[in-house]
Amino acid sequence: MMLNKLRLIRKELRFRLTLHATLVEEWHPHVLWLANHCQPSEHCKVLLNDWDNIRKKIESEKGGVLASQPEVDVPLEEAVLGMGADDGEDADENMMSETEQANDDDASNNPIAVETAAGNNSDDDES
């Protein structure tokens, strides 16, 4: 199931990369014109350099870099991410009630908590 999701995501990423590459190629002459006519010369060089780097990266990724990346090791990923761990479903009912009882005992043994509780009750009586 997880492998199918990963394949679907990979397919969607490839599709979007193809769309993006098409847009970049369509924009290329416009970017060149804008850079040469609307930018100061020192900024134009930086802009065109960045633009060329983007185009090269897209071409390399479109050429199959994404396809050549290894598949995700699903059992390893689940172990690392702890899927299903600490979700509360495997908690023992007895452990939960013991923990709640211990918290109640701690509160009753704490003089500040007892005074605060008593103070809250007396405030309610005065109102």
Alpha helices in the chain (DSSP H): 2-38, 41-60, 66-68, 74-81, 93-109, 111-126
In this predicted structure, the answer to whether residue 100 has a pLDDT above a threshold of 60 is yes
Average pLDDT of the segment spanning 79-95: 60
Amino acid at 92: D
The pLDDT of residue 27 is: 95
Given this model, what pLDDT does residue 22 score?
92
- Judge whether 83 and 49 are in contact, CB under 8 Å: no
Q: Convert the pLDDT of each residue in 31-58 to its tens digit.
A: 999 998 988 888 889 999 999 999 999 8
Residue type, 24: V
Q: pTM of this prediction? A: 0.45
Pair 20, 14: CB distance under 8 Å: no
Q: In this predicted structure, what is the pLDDT of residue 2?
A: 81
Distance CA 83, CA 90 (A): 13
